[in-house]
């Protein structure tokens, strides 16, 4: 029941460039694959909402159900025009923490390098929507030089995260150049890439790409699966190719109202991820970015989800629930409370299934 059956999966369906070039962007294009609601049509005619959806990701949409989790992540609603109290274009003060173009330096030993503003599919919940999709172009030679110079001049930087946009929209040759320059800095220990390609354009993970990536080990990849519906044969194959190349793959889920804000959905998601050898890393509380207020859930919901996972399923499947501090303080872990009381003699705790236990402190 592929929504794109009217396109009859053209010959080049499995070619990531074909997917990228044929991103669905207009009412007319999307109207051919799903039954748009009047609200979706109204939002799609807003020129300031950047829309782009690979035919592959669109094929996962339920053509009849406007609450479909794939649809809600990719097709805008009028609510994106609202700016709720406390929201900001740049809620994490990334621009303020950018010492040179395309570098964000928030923590002592690691930086983010923004490789591009382009994505295979633009997420409606994008926290960087102030710039992502606005101009579809990767970093320039000069910007790369400047960023690498910044990293090379600071021996404390041992971890570089290439993010965006989606760095895996860049061509293999350009990625190779970027990775080579970063890897040439002796104090950079690990390189990480943040990408949604395995989710939104899994055909991007080609043998040629993998051959480029594995030259730069230790290299880690973080993906963003938000719903079990995103796990398909194609996305599973893409992740397997990465893991088989020795690249540890982690997952960062954004907690999204009406999409994945239940224990049931999250439990299915994390269990499916372990089957793909992907380690759930973070569960993010939705940021205060302008235009994504309608995705926010109460913080208590995230805590409840972690509580519903811890002990109830494999410990490996339990991500850390974090709130990225408004203003730019970094990610703050928020956990259910298992410690009931603490004294010099003992700690009183509760188990995952609600039993009270005492742990005596050492008395010497
Ligand atoms: C998330 C983030 C990192 C990486 O954080 P980890 O907890 O190490 O994964 C680094 N820099 C910035 C600016 C970030 O937002």
Q: How far is CA 332 from the centre of its chain?
A: 17
End-to-end CA distance of the chain: 68
**pLDDT score, position 164:** 94
277 Rama class: left (phi>0) / alpha (psi -120 to 50) / beta: left
**pLDDT score, position 135:** 84
pLDDT of 4 > 80? The answer is: no
For the domain that residue 202 is a member of, what is the CATH number? 3.20.20.70
Same domain, 327 and 343: no
pLDDT band (50, 70, 90) for residue 2: very low
Of 152, 170, 166, give the one whose Cα is nearest residue 200.
166
**pLDDT score, position 122:** 98
**pLDDT score, position 84:** 87
pLDDT of 35 > 70? The answer is: yes
pLDDT band (50, 70, 90) for residue 7: low
pLDDT of 20 > 60? The answer is: yes
**pLDDT score, position 53:** 98
Catalytic choice (177, 181, 237, 331): 331
User: What is the per-residue pLDDT across 289-323, written as a single tens digit (0 to 9) for each?
Assistant: 999 999 999 999 999 999 999 999 999 999 999 99
How many CB atoms lie under 10 A from the CB of residue 336? 16
Same domain, 122 and 202: yes
Average pLDDT, the chain: 96
Task: Look at ligand 1, atom 7, and give the residue with the nearest C-alpha.
Answer: 331
Q: Which two tokens stand for residue 268?
A: 């299915």
Same domain, 266 and 153: yes
Domain assignment of residue 44, given as a range: 3-75
pLDDT of 137 > 90? The answer is: no
pTM greater than 0.85 (yes/no): yes
Q: How many domains does the chain have?
A: 3
Same domain, 210 and 227: yes
Q: Which residues does 143 contact at the CB level (< 8 Å), separation at least 6?
A: 101, 102
User: What is the per-residue pLDDT across 45-95, written as a single tens digit (0 to 9) for each?
Assistant: 999 999 999 999 999 999 999 999 999 999 999 999 998 899 999 999 999
- On whether residue 127 sits in a domain, the answer given is yes
| Helices of type H across the chain | 16-21, 27-31, 38-44, 55-58, 69-74, 141-152, 172-183, 197-200, 207-213, 233-244, 263-275, 299-309
**Is 126 marked active-site?**
yes
Q: Which residues of 159-177 are buried (b: 16+ CB within 10 A; e: fewer)?
A: ebbbbbbbbbbbeeebbbe
Same domain, 31 and 177: no
Contact 307, 301 (CB under 8 A): no
Distance 309 CA to ligand 1 centre (A): 24
Distance CA 301, CA 257 (A): 10
Which residue out of 94, 103, 106 has the highest number of ligand 1 atoms within 8 Å of its CB and is therefore the one to mutate? 106
User: What is the per-residue pLDDT across 213-225, written as a single tens digit (0 to 9) for each?
Assistant: 999 999 999 999 9
Distance 192 CA to ligand 1 centre (A): 10
Same domain, 224 and 271: yes
Contact 130, 92 (CB under 8 A): no
**Is 324 marked active-site?**
yes
Of 175, 219, 168, 173, give the one whose Cα is nearest residue 198.
168
Same domain, 58 and 157: no
Same domain, 329 and 341: no
Which residue out of 331, 333, 334 has the highest number of ligand 1 atoms within 8 Å of its CB and is therefore the one to mutate? 331
Ligand 1 cavity residues, CB under 6 Å:
104, 106-107, 110, 112, 161, 331
Same domain, 154 and 211: yes
Same domain, 66 and 170: no
Same domain, 358 and 325: no
Same domain, 171 and 212: yes
- On whether residue 212 sits in a domain, the answer given is yes
């Amino acid at each position: 029941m592929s929504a794109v059956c009217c396109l009859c999966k053209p010959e080049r369906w499995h070619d990531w460039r074909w997917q990228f070039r044929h991103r669905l962007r207009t009412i007319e294009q999307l109207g051919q694959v799903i039954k748009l609601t009047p609200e979706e049509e109204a939002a799609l005619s807003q020129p300031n909402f950047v829309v782009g959806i690979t035919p592959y990701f669109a094929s996962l949409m339920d053509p009849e159900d406007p609450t479909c989790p794939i649809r809600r992540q990719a097709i805008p609603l009028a609510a994106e025009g609202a700016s709720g109290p406390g929201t900001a274009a740049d809620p994490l003060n990334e621009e303020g923490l950018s010492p040179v173009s395309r570098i964000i330096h928030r923590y002592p030993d690691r930086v983010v390098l923004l490789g591009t503003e382009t994505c295979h599919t633009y997420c409606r919940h994008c926290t960087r929507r102030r710039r992502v999709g606005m101009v579809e172009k990767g970093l320039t030679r000069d910007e790369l030089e400047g960023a690498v110079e910044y990293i090379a001049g600071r021996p404390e930087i041992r971890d570089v995260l290439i993010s965006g946009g989606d760095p895996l929209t860049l061509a293999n040759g350009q990625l190779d150049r970027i990775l080579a320059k970063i890897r040439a800095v002796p104090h950079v220990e690990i390189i990480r890439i943040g990408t949604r390609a395995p989710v939104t354009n899994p055909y991007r993970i080609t043998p040629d790409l993998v051959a480029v990536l594995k030259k730069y080990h230790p290299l880690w990849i973080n993906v963003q699966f938000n719903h079990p519906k995103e796990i398909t044969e194609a996305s599973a194959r893409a992740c397997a190719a990465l893991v088989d190349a020795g690249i540890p793959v982690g997952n960062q889920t954004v907690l999204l109202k009406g999409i994945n804000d239940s224990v049931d959905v999250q439990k299915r998601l994390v269990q499916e991820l372990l089957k793909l050898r992907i380690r759930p890393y973070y569960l993010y509380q939705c940021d205060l970015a302008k235009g994504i207020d309608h995705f926010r859930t109460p913080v208590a919901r995230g805590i409840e989800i972690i509580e519903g996972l811890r002990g109830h399923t494999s410990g490996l499947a339990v991500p850390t629930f974090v709130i990225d501090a408004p203003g730019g303080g970094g990610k703050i872990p928020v956990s259910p409370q298992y410690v009931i009381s603490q004294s010099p003699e003992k700690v009183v705790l509760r188990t995952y299934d609600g039993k009270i236990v005492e742990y005596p402190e050492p008395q010497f």
